[in-house]
C-alpha cells in the first residue's frame, strides 16, 4: 500500500473515533474507555475488549460537565466527562480512571457519580514511589482490581498467558511507534506535523495488533525513501497533547517540522516496554516503575532537574533548533514545572516558546503570530 493511502487511513481513523467505536461494537466486542495516564491497557486487550483512548476533544464545548466540575479543571478532563454525558461514549462498557494529577483524583469520583449504572467505572491509583518494592506491590494490587473488574464484565477469567501475549502485542506497537517518530524526523517533508499527529493519535482508537500492522507497513515504505534535506526549521514539541489540526497547520504554514516530541499523548506513553516473561501483573507494575522523565510522575531527585535536562538533550539529539511548549490551561503539574524547565533550556542555549492552549480554543490568531515569529528566530540560528 502506498504511503499516501496509509496516511489517509490513519487520518480517517484519528478524525472519526465514533466510527471506530461503532465498528467495534458491531463486531460484538466490548469497549473500555481509557483515560490518561498510564492505565495498563494490556489488561483490556487481554480480556478481548477494545481499549478506547479518551483524551478530551477538539470539537466539543463544555456544557453538561459543568454540573460536576470546578471551572478550574483542565479542558481535557472536562471534555472527557462531557463526551460521557452527551451520549458520544454511550457504547462503552466501562472506563478506567487513573488519578495521577490533582484534577484527575477528584474527577475520578465525578465520573463515578455521573455514570451511575450507565457503565462500569474502574478506579486506578498509581503509587507515588513507583520503583520501590512496596510501590510495585501496591501497583500490582491496583492492576489486580482492574483485572477483576474486567473479568466481571467478560464473564470469565483473564489468563496470565493472555496478559503476556497482550504485553508482547503492546511492546511491538510501542516499538513501531518509536520507529515511526524517528522516521518522521528523517522524512519530515512527507510526514508533516498534521500527518504525524494523526498516525500517533489513531493508535488510541484501534486494536493494537491491527494498528501495528498498518504502522509497520508505513514504516517500511518510509524506510525506502532517501532522508530528506529539510530547508525549514525543526522543533521538539512538549506538553500534554497537541493534536489539533488547526494548530498544527500553523507549523506547516511556517515550514516547521517536528523532530521529536515530549508530549504525553504521543511519545511519553510509548517510552517504556514491559518485561515479556514471568508474572505478567508484576511485569506491568515494573513497566510503570520504569517510567521516568515525566512531569506527571514523582521524582525523588527532582532537585537535579533531570527531566528538563533530558528534554534539552532530546532537542539536541533530534537536530531541532528549538522547543515549542504547549501548556494546557489549569494544568498544575506543567505550570509548576515551567521555571525549572525553562532554566534547563536556557542553560543549554535552546530557544523555546510557551503557548497557552486548551481544547476549546477556536481562534489561533495569537498562536499563529507567536509561532511565525519563533520560526523566524530559529531560521537565523
Judged by the rule CB under 6 A, the positions of this chain that interact with ligand SF4 are 36, 74, 76-77, 101, 103-104, 240, 296, 328, 331-333
Q: Whole-number minimum distance, CB 77 to ligand SF4, in Å?
A: 5
Q: Whole-number minimum distance, CB 372 to ligand SF4, in Å?
A: 26
Say if residues 64 and 86 touch (Cβ distance below 8 Å). yes
Q: Can you name the residues that pair with 31 across neighbouring β-strands?
A: 50
Rank residues 47 and 81 by Cβ distance to ligand SF4 and give the closer one.
Answer: 81
Question: Any idea which residue has 514504516 for its cell?
Answer: 219
CA dist., res. 265 & res. 261, Å (int): 10
Rank residues 76 and 269 by Cβ distance to ligand SF4 and give the closer one.
Answer: 76
> Is the C-alpha dihedral spanning 30, 177, 139, 34 positive or negative?
negative
- What is the secondary structure of 239-287 as a DSSP string? ES----HHHHHHHHHTTEEEEEEEETTTGGGSS-PPPSSS-HHHHHHHH
Rank residues 166 and 357 by Cβ distance to ligand SF4 and give the closer one.
Answer: 357
Say if residues 191 and 228 touch (Cβ distance below 8 Å). no
Rank residues 253 and 332 by Cβ distance to ligand SF4 and give the closer one.
Answer: 332
Q: Whole-number minimum distance, CB 240 to ligand SF4, in Å?
A: 4
Rank residues 219 and 244 by Cβ distance to ligand SF4 and give the closer one.
Answer: 244
Rank residues 185 and 197 by Cβ distance to ligand SF4 and give the closer one.
Answer: 197
> Is the C-alpha dihedral spanning 297, 299, 302, 306 positive or negative?
negative
3-state secondary structure (DSSP) of residue 302: helix
Alpha carbon of residue 90 to chain centroid: 22
Rank residues 4 and 332 by Cβ distance to ligand SF4 and give the closer one.
Answer: 332
Q: Whole-number minimum distance, CB 369 to ligand SF4, in Å?
A: 24
What stretch of H or E contains 31? Answer: strand 31-34
CA dist., res. 235 & res. 185, Å (int): 10
Q: Whole-number minimum distance, CB 104 to ligand SF4, in Å?
A: 5
Alpha carbon of residue 314 to chain centroid: 18
- Side by side, the strands of the sheet bearing 94-98 are 50-53, 31-34, 94-98, 120-124
Q: Whole-number minimum distance, CB 163 to ligand SF4, in Å?
A: 27
Q: Whole-number minimum distance, CB 364 to ligand SF4, in Å?
A: 19
Amino acid at each position: 500500500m502506498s504511503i499516501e493511502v496509509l496516511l489517509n487511513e490513519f487520518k480517517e481513523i484519528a478524525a472519526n473515533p465514533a466510527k471506530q467505536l461503532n465498528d467495534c461494537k458491531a463486531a460484538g466486542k466490548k469497549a473500555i474507555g481509557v483515560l490518561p495516564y498510564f492505565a495498563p491497557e494490556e489488561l483490556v486487550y487481554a480480556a478481548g475488549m477494545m481499549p478506547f483512548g479518551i483524551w478530551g476533544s477538539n470539537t466539543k464545548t463544555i456544557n453538561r460537565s459543568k454540573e460536576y466540575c470546578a471551572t478550574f479543571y483542565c479542558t481535557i478532563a472536562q471534555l472527557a466527562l462531557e463526551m460521557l454525558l452527551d451520549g458520544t461514549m454511550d457504547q462503552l462498557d466501562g472506563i478506567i480512571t487513573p488519578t495521577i494529577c490533582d484534577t484527575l483524583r477528584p474527577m475520578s469520583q465525578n465520573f463515578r457519580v455521573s455514570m451511575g449504572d450507565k457503565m462500569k467505572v474502574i478506579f486506578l491509583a498509581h503509587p507515588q514511589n513507583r520503583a520501590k518494592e512496596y510501590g510495585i506491590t501496591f501497583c500490582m494490587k491496583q492492576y489486580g482490581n482492574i483485572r477483576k473488574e474486567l473479568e466481571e464484565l467478560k464473564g470469565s477469567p483473564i489468563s496470565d498467558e493472555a496478559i503476556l501475549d497482550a504485553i508482547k502485542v503492546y511492546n511491538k506497537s510501542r516499538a513501531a511507534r518509536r520507529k515511526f517518530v524517528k522516521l518522521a524526523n528523517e522524512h519530515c517533508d512527507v510526514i508533516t506535523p498534521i500527518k504525524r499527529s494523526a498516525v500517533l493519535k489513531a493508535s488510541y482508537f484501534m486494536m493494537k495488533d491491527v494498528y501495528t500492522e498498518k504502522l509497520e507497513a508505513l514504516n517500511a515504505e518510509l524506510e525506502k525513501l532517501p532522508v530528506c534535506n529539510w530547508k525549514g526549521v525543526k522543533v521538539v514539541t512538549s506538553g500534554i497533547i497537541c493534536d489539533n489540526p488547526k494548530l498544527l497547520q500553523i507549523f506547516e504554514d511556517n515550514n516547521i517540522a517536528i523532530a521529536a516530541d515530549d508530549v504525553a499523548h504521543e511519545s511519553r506513553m510509548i517510552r517504556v516496554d514491559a518485561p515479556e516473561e514471568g508474572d505478567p501483573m508484576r511485569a506491568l507494575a515494573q513497566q510503570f516503575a520504569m517510567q521516568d522523565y515525566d512531569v506527571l510522575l514523582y521524582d525523588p531527585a527532582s532537585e537535579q532537574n533531570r527531566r528538563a535536562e533530558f528534554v534539552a538533550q532530546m532537542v539536541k539529539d533530534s537536530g531541532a533548533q528549538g522547543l515549542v511548549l504547549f501548556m494546557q490551561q489549569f494544568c498544575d503539574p506543567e505550570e509548576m514545572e515551567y521555571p525549572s524547565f525553562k532554566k534547563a533550556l536556557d542553560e543549554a542555549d535552546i530557544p523555546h516558546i510557551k503557548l497557552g492552549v486548551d481544547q476549546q480554543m477556536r481562534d489561533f490568531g495569537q498562536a499563529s503570530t507567536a509561532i511565525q515569529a519563533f520560526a523566524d528566530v530559529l531560521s537565523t540560528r
